[in-house]
Amino acid sequence: MFKNIFALFKVPELRKKVLIVLLCLTVFRLMANIPLPGINVNQLEQFFAANQMFGLFNIFTGGALSNISIAFLGIGPYITASIIFQLLTIVFPSLKEMLKEGTGKEKERFEQYVRIATIPLAAVQGFAMLSLLRSQQAVIISSPLDWLRNIVVVVASSMILMWLGEIITEQKLGNGISLIIFSGIVIDLPRQFLSTFLNIQTTQIYNLISFLLLALFIIVGVVIVSRGERRIPVHYAKQVRGTKIYGGASSYLPLKVNQAGVIPIIFAISILMFPSMFGQLLANSKSPTLLKLSLSLKNFGPQSIWYLIIYFVLVFLFTYFYTFIVFEPDSISENLQKQGGFIPGYRPGKTTTDFLSTTVNHLTLFGAIFLGIIAIVPILLERFTGITTIAIGGTSLLIMVEVAIEINQAIESQLMMREYETV
């Protein structure tokens, strides 16, 4: 990986792309450290110590939530808007066609809908989070003008982060959302590991070993599954053009075990955050029914068995759903046919399409199960060891390793394209 990074800086065009990405991430880190006014630091620390779920959500904000910066929502509203519109593609075929248009005008229109939806979602999420923090006396908001100022700042910050993410994606060195989250994890992960090691006493050597084995399991497992692929042989028919013969070569079509990458986990945790947030908002209600509902929602966290089940199911379903969105067997089959290629034993056209769909479904089944298991393992290990930072640290490590692999693959792709252009 480091060899590829050094190679990037040798090419002026690619070096420019890297510098743009680094500049965007620097802006994000600066925003993550500019606090909103009226923060009660002591109450804020107590709140996060008592609510581990928000500690998990803090991963996606790059630590911006823990210090209530202007970017404390992170890229969350944009992720939520993306989830909503991608789910709507199931209900509305016109939206699905927009999404499948690649780089066309229809795809741009679909993305514009997501951007517009991000604004009200950021306002609602910002208001809900500020209300929650205000009820816990972690933030002091004394007037309607304070409310308006804070919400406007939060919405503007979310839109800036969305814009930065799109700029990063355009450089084709990785997904913008994933890289923003990755940068926050890289900054905060040493603190999480240090906290884990400091909290371990001499009598908890077993727990320390468990933590280290967890880290090793996640790294090895994610690398194997992310790099795993099934190579479908492809033969190209010979074509005579004038006096020259073209084609006749053999190649293969790589089908990844995990087509979705880390996106299913990001989506799953984004959804699981809402019950706990609503539970905290209802905590000061005077209605006995709402108070009972609040208690149930607040208890819906990593300590709940239902949380683990729903977490696993969401990761599983989102893996399938995202693979369905990004993998297009029709287009692949059509391109193979246009190029004179075929898969041995399968006729070009619908037969090839059905074969590719079936194969990807089988691969995705294994990838989805593995990703779901590896997502809940840190939480299970925390319950056995009693170390409260394992779930957060394990989840952070999982996302970081997956994104690092994606970045490496994107860099390799850019370097390979550069080699072809210079030949």
Q: What is the 3-state secondary structure (H, E, C) of 324-341?
A: HHHCCHHHHHHHHHHCCE
Instruction: Please check whether residue 236 lies inside any domain of the structure.
Output: yes
More confident residue, 168 or 95: 168
Residue pair 333/349 in contact (Cβ under 8 Å)? The answer is yes
What Å distances lie between residue 33 and 126, 368, 379, CA to CA?
Answer: 17, 36, 29
User: Are 116 and 251 in the same domain?
Assistant: no
Instruction: Please say if the pLDDT value at position 355 is more than 70.
Output: yes
Amino acid at 126: G
Q: What is the pLDDT of residues 282-324, one digit of tens each?
A: 766 677 777 777 777 766 777 778 888 898 999 999 888 888 8
What band does 155 get if pLDDT is binned at 50, 70 and 90?
A: very high
What CATH number is given to the structural domain containing 310?
1.10.3370.10
User: Are 275 and 404 in the same domain?
Assistant: yes
* Close Cβ partners of 419 (under 8 Å, ≥ 6 residues apart): none
Instruction: Please check whether residue 412 lies inside any domain of the structure.
Output: yes
Q: What is the pLDDT of residues 8-40, one digit of tens each?
A: 677 778 788 889 999 999 999 888 888 888 787
What pLDDT is attached to residue 63? 67
What band does 56 get if pLDDT is binned at 50, 70 and 90?
A: low
Instruction: Please check whether residue 256 lies inside any domain of the structure.
Output: yes
The order of strands in the sheet holding 341-342 is 250-256, 229-236, 341-342
CA distance 273 to 254: 36
User: Are 40 and 161 in the same domain?
Assistant: yes
**Which H helix or E strand runs over 353?**
helix 350-385
More confident residue, 71 or 47: 71
User: Are 396 and 280 in the same domain?
Assistant: yes
Q: What is the pLDDT of residues 123-142, one digit of tens each?
A: 988 888 888 788 777 788 88
User: Are 150 and 200 in the same domain?
Assistant: no
What Å distances lie between residue 85 and 98, 181, 260, 386, CA to CA?
Answer: 11, 21, 17, 39
User: Are 80 and 155 in the same domain?
Assistant: yes
Instruction: Please say if the pLDDT value at position 414 is more than 70.
Output: yes
Instruction: Please say if the pLDDT value at position 240 is more than 60.
Output: no
User: Are 319 and 401 in the same domain?
Assistant: yes
Tell me the backbone φ, ψ of residue 40, rounded to 5 degrees.
-95, 100
Question: Which letter does DSSP use for residue 36 in this model?
Answer: P
Domain of 88, in residue numbers: 24-170
More confident residue, 298 or 261: 261
What band does 371 get if pLDDT is binned at 50, 70 and 90?
A: confident
What Å distances lie between residue 45 and 49, 65, 392, CA to CA?
Answer: 6, 11, 16
The number of beta carbons lying within 10 Å of the beta carbon of residue 237 is: 12
User: Are 97 and 203 in the same domain?
Assistant: no
What pLDDT is attached to residue 224? 81
- Quote the mean pLDDT of the chain: 78
Instruction: Please check whether residue 377 lies inside any domain of the structure.
Output: yes
CA distance 228 to 269: 25
Instruction: Please check whether residue 161 lies inside any domain of the structure.
Output: yes
* Domain count for the chain: 2
Q: What is the pLDDT of residues 182-237, one digit of tens each?
A: 888 787 767 666 766 666 665 566 666 776 777 787 778 777 877 788 888 888 77
Highest mean pLDDT among 2-6, 28-32, 42-46, 125-129: 28-32
Instruction: Please check whether residue 195 lies inside any domain of the structure.
Output: yes
